[in-house]
Structure 1
Amino acid sequence: MILIILVISAIALLISFVYTSRNSVRLPLTIVFGLLLVGSVVFISKNDNQHYGMVKTTTAKTSKLASVSANKQLNLLLYQSVGSADKHRVYVYKQTASQKKTQHTKASVKVTNHVKTSQNTPKLVTKTTRWTYKSNAMKFWFGIAGNDHELISTNNTFYVNADWAVLSSSQAKAFSKLMKQQQPTLKARAKVYVQNQVKTAMTKDPTMSQAEITKVSKAAAAQYQQNAVKSLLQQVKAND
């Protein structure tokens, strides 16, 4: 509406100043329409530069978070550095384990990303702050500018557990390559580790049933795999 007032006052000012011959009429009209014109310009400028009539509104959205790794022993959150000095990152993630395509945060100066360790279920909390009009009246006057719900900032916080790895895309590739290279060695060592754990358990309890032995074997295999993954991750990060 303010733009309409601006246009009307400009036209009316021109008509009153040029086509009104009587000074007693022209002067008041010129003052009135001149003030309307100047006032419209001032408020339009304040709305554009200072967001006059608007307030910051923040909304929060919580999403599930799942590992992007195909390896069940590795819970992984990926990121890609944008620009130099690793100042900005785009994070790659999934919301469910069954999700085929990954998602990623936007590469924008208005988007900030943080990773925090939590003991709760992994999740992504997205807080979005926008400019919105404080009342319908303000929206009536300035809404034609199309700046309602203009984005100010987006803050993504990834809450992951302590056993999660946060790797760059290059580190993830290096880990995958190292994992394939070490696979035969890891298999052989895992077999020996499981056998030793079973022997230790049977020494403590010679009457163990087959079901108990199987349970110990599975637990030992999982433990060895977890330790092996942790060790390989440390190597990758050290060589990066």
Structure 2
Amino acid sequence: MIIALLIISAIALFLTFIYMPASWLKYGLSVLFAISLVSSLVLVVMNDSQHFGMKKVTTTKTVTLKSAGSSQLDMLLYQSVGTSDQHRVYIYKTAANQKKAITTAANVKTSNQVKTTTGSTKLVTKTTRWTYKSGTAKLWFGIADNDKQLIKRTNTFYVQKTWAVLSTSQAKQLSKLAKQQSATLKVQAKTYVQNAVKAAMIKNPTMSATQLAQLEKQAAAQYQATAMQKMIQTVKQAK
């Protein structure tokens, strides 16, 4: 609407000033149309540069995170943008059966951060946009197509300590290393579990079969977690 007013004011000013005979009416209309023209132009510039008639609106969206990796280890993956690893895009899933992972936007208006939590693993996205203050403001300036223009977006990933945050290349190295050490880890895991059972039996010779089975399961899981953490540190330290 404001563009239409600007054009009409310009045309009216031209016609009035050129074709109307000299009179107080001509000068009065010329001043009126000139004010309308200048005011419309100023408002257009203010809407474009200072978002006149608009306000900031922030929305928050929370989704549950699922591992982006193909292994049993829970992983949040990222890909560095540039050569100095100052900017990253993160790769994640929101459902266990999700085939294609989601990637965060790679632009200057989007920032990402990862925090450790003892609660649920989730992604909290805060998005701030410019929106028109009223329907009237949108009617006047909506032709600029800047409604809901993105100002900034912040993605905060809350992951538990058991999750691994790795680059895509580190994840590939981890998978390769796990396959290489698979046979060795099985032998070491068996020995670790046997020693744990022996130590427990010495402390409590009357342990039941159910208790022993539970102990074996816990010891195996503990060894696996420890071994995996060592491999993760290995791939993180590798250059």
Scaled by the length of structure 1, what TM-score is found? 0.96
**Aligned counterparts, 1:122-161, within 5 A:** 122-161=121-160
1:201 aligns with 2:200: yes
Opposite residue 144 of structure 1, the aligned amino acid is I
Quote the Cα distance in structure 1 between the aligned partners of 2:97 and 2:139.
Answer: 46
The aligned counterpart of 2:181 is 182
- Aligned counterparts, 1:1-240, within 5 A: 1-72=1-72, 74-240=73-239
Asked if 1 retains the 8 angstrom alpha-carbon contact of 2:55 and 2:131, the reply is yes
Equivalent pairs counted in the alignment come to 239
State percent identity of aligned pairs.
54
Deviations 1:194-240 (A, max 9, x none): 11111111222222222222111111111100000001011111113
Root-mean-square deviation (CA), in Å? Answer: 1.2
Structure 1 stretches of 5 or more lacking a match?
Answer: none
What amino acid is the match of 1:175?
A: L
The amino acid across from 1:79 in the alignment is Y
TM-score normalised per structure 2: 0.96
Q: Report the 3-state secondary structure (helix = DSSP H, G, I; strand = E; otherwise coil) of the residue aligned with 1:108.
A: coil
CA distance in 2, matches of 1:99, 1:25: 72
3-state SS in 2 of match to 1:16: helix
> For 1:112 and 1:167, how far apart are their aligned partners in 2?
18
Code of the aligned partner of 1:104: T
Q: Shift of residue 121 of structure 1?
A: 0.4
Distance 1:4 1:233 in 2: 63
* Aligned 8 A contact 2:69 2:77 in 1: no
- 1:67, 1:214 → 2: CA distance? 29
CA distance in 2, matches of 1:26, 1:193: 100
Alpha-carbon deviation of 1:175? 0.9
Q: In structure 2, how many angstroms separate the alpha carbons of the residues matched to 1:223 and 1:96? A: 26
Q: Which runs of 5+ in 2 are unaligned?
A: none
